[in-house]
Structure 1
């Protein structure tokens, strides 16, 4: 009898119902909040990577030594300064060369042809991430241009397009489980602004050549600069 009365009393007692409901709901609200924070941070980082790709491509299309007597020459030091400036612009909160890879390509029309075929004349890279270009390597002939299928860009005869790719490993605030893809990819392209000497990239002092940011190297030469 006592057990029966106790069970009936427990059934009528609703004093802890609200606390129980709260305990059950809180984890779902917590997960939703963490997912929202992670998604917002991922969106901001993606936006910054895209902006960085645009800035690198834009600046690379302008670099070079002007002359009234000849086409503008570009030097290895110009490209190194460009990559260094990108690292400084990204800042320590976006370690672009420690967690990513920047690939700068010069897309040009194949000399001496009338078919409009394109090729990658040169590439320069920086970053520790082992990521190659998704659109071609030096010397590759690209019949329809460079870029994602259906969105290719191409250079006119005697001109060049600077095509920039960035691959960056996202560093989550909480967990990668909230974000499906942990590598952020961005591309950008700009046509070279002035008449550029397309024959090659020069060294300012051949006796003391500047470092070449070759795509066979996976390093961050500016680790202490940002």
Structure 2
């Protein structure tokens, strides 16, 4: 089949018009910058969103850790004040109802992080034996999170195992006095699963020397509820 010169000219003319239209359209697209901001936002949004979520996770963990620390500090301080208002002629004693009240106060303080269900406080009375040994005279716990003391149970240090004290700094009790030593544990649940921070156990410690002198030989029962 032969192609006539007229048909060939018509085909070349259509090709030139199409090429011209393509060039004009391409030029307009190159000059059109109306969607630049949208494209830049689409590329940057995942980065800023990830950074924001990571920052929120770290801030929440830091705030929770600080609150657990405040619970431990307040409990140790309040426990050291037990019996301080007793104006009797004999040395004041510490009774179980007193200890129960400050332990309940610690749970109340941790309401915002549901400390009762996810945490535990361990209050140990660190004292000194007649022979000068440090030991845990009595111990009380509260909170549903199963956790044992990192330093020993009731009567630890008075059963053949000598201890220099409690805590990282080996806090010790002077003769005839007691140190209220608190361990606070909290099971932290991450905001975004394991994306940034894995679930962890936050632990804090606090210790206060008992205000004034107390009759340590009687009063509170030499038992434990840390089971």
- TM-score tier by shorter-chain length is 0.7 to 0.9
Alignment partner, residue 103 of structure 2: 83
**Larger relative CO (CA 8 A, sep 6+): 1 or 2?**
1
Distance in 1 (CA, whole Å) between partners of 2:195 and 2:134 is 41
Alignment gaps of 5+ in structure 2 = 1-14
Correspondence for 1:50: 69
Deviations 1:103-139 (A, max 9, x none): 00000112233xxx31111110011111111122112
Q: Match for 1:173 among 177, 191, 199?
A: 191
Per the alignment, in what secondary structure is the counterpart of residue 74 of structure 1? coil
| SS of residue in 2 equivalent to 1:178 | coil
- Dislocated runs of 4+, deviation >6 Å: none
SS of 2:204 mapped into structure 1: strand
CA deviation map 1:24-59 (0-9, x unaligned): 221110010111122222222211111111110011
Sort the Cα spacing of 1:12 and 1:155 in 2 relative to 1 into closer, same or farther, 3 A.
same
- Identify the structure with the greater helix proportion: 2
Gap runs ≥5 in structure 1: 204-211, 217-226
Task: Work out the CA distance in 2 between the residues paired with 1:102 and 1:187.
Answer: 10
TM-score, normalisation: structure 1: 0.77
Q: Is the 8 A contact 1:176 1:182 kept in 2?
A: no
* TM superposition shift of 1:75: 1.1
Q: 1:69 & 1:112 partners in 2: Cα distance?
A: 28
Say how many residue pairs are matched: 200
The two structures have a TM-score, normalised by structure 2, of: 0.77
Aligned to 2:93: 73
Q: How does 1:1-226 map to 2 (within 5 A)?
A: 9=26, 15=33, 18-64=37-83, 66-91=86-111, 93-113=112-132, 117-141=133-157, 142-148=162-168, 151-180=169-198, 182-202=200-220, 214-216=225-227
State the match for 2:4 in structure 1: none
**Alpha carbons of structure 1 residues 98 and 190: separation in structure 2 relative to 1, 3 Å:** same
Larger radius of gyration: 2
What is the rounded CA distance, in whole Å, between the counterparts of 2:97 and 2:195 in structure 1?
Answer: 41
CA distance in 1, matches of 2:195, 2:98: 41
Q: Which moved more, 1:189-198 or 1:173-182?
A: 173-182
> Residue 72 of structure 1 contacts residue 194 of structure 1 at CA under 8 Å; is this kept in 2?
no
